[in-house]
Structure 1
């Protein structure tokens, strides 16, 4: 890795997205599809910049 232009500092999260047809009256839902994506504003920004060709670095924590 050379000449890092941007360094991100932050928490690395996982976003869980669930597709449901409807929310049931008692607050439960039947999940038709579940997906997980990496998240966290710093991580997402660094990922996007790297895809654009910017030399990036990342420092952060995972979990507790």
Structure 2
């Protein structure tokens, strides 16, 4: 995933400096989409690990 982030940042810098080719725009969009899918999946896994309890302590779902 780190390589995805590095490449996204490279393309962002290039976009600001000189613009992107059509192929680079497609690559950037694909990488962003893959990154977001992975981020959402990991975030959901983190949220699923959270358990809320009341004072008794009874687990509340």
Is this a same-fold pair by TM over 0.5?
no
TM-score (norm 2): 0.28
TM-score (norm 1): 0.26
The one of the two structures with greater contact order (alpha-carbon pairs below 8 A, sep at least 6) is 1
**Hey, which of these two has a bigger chunk of helix by percent?**
2
**Hey, which of these two has a bigger chunk of strand by percent?**
1
Computing the radius of gyration from Cα coordinates, the structure with the larger value is 2
